Amino acid sequence: MALIIGCGTDGRGDDAAGLLAARRLRALGGEALEHTGDGLALMELWAGAGDVILIDAVCGPGEPGGVLVWDARTAPLPADRARGSTHAFGVAEAVELARALGRLPRTLTVYGIAGRRFETGTAPSAEVAAAAERVALTLAGGK
């Protein structure tokens, strides 16, 4: 069973995408952790896990609410997309540092939910909330 981690920050608009997906997955009877800290703490959270799924907001080209999936074990996250974190050292940086240190889990799948609105004090967009729901349903096995 994979360790599922939803990353993000409440109160920063679409940056909450991973948290929304993790909460919905738990409501569906699944298991998921929430991570609101920096990338170094994320590496500690997945330490010892064989299979990891990360869910996070990403920015870049494309429409808000689009879902991109990467096998981060075999290739770096695309630099132009994996910049949704509001932390200076976020998910993409944690993955690449873990790769350099030989601390990646056996499998590492990243679900990136495209967002555009990351301002403090804003709610997630309807498109991102719907995408978080779709990701949660996918990971719950279509429940």
Domain ranges of the chain: 3-139
Strands in 33-35's sheet, in edge-to-edge order, are 33-35, 3-7, 51-58, 107-114, 67-71
- Predicted local distance difference test score (pLDDT) of residue 26: 98
- Predicted local distance difference test score (pLDDT) of residue 3: 97
Q: Which residues pair with 114 in a beta bridge?
A: 58
- Predicted local distance difference test score (pLDDT) of residue 79: 63
Of 22, 7, 4, 5, which Cα lies nearest the Cα of 84?
7
Element (H, E) at 20: helix 17-27
Q: CB–CB of 14/124 below 8 Å? A: yes
- Predicted local distance difference test score (pLDDT) of residue 88: 59
Summarised one tens digit per residue, pLDDT across range 57-84 is 998 767 899 999 999 999 887 765 555 4
pLDDT beneath 70, residues of the chain: 61, 79-88, 142-143
Round to whole Å and give the CA distance between 53 and 112: 11
- Predicted local distance difference test score (pLDDT) of residue 143: 52
Question: Could you confirm whether domain 3-139 is CATH 3.10.129.10?
Answer: no
CA dihedral for 33, 21, 19, 45, sign (positive or negative): positive
Q: What angle do CA 21, 137, 125 make, to 5 degrees?
A: 45
Round to whole Å and give the CA distance between 102 and 53: 18
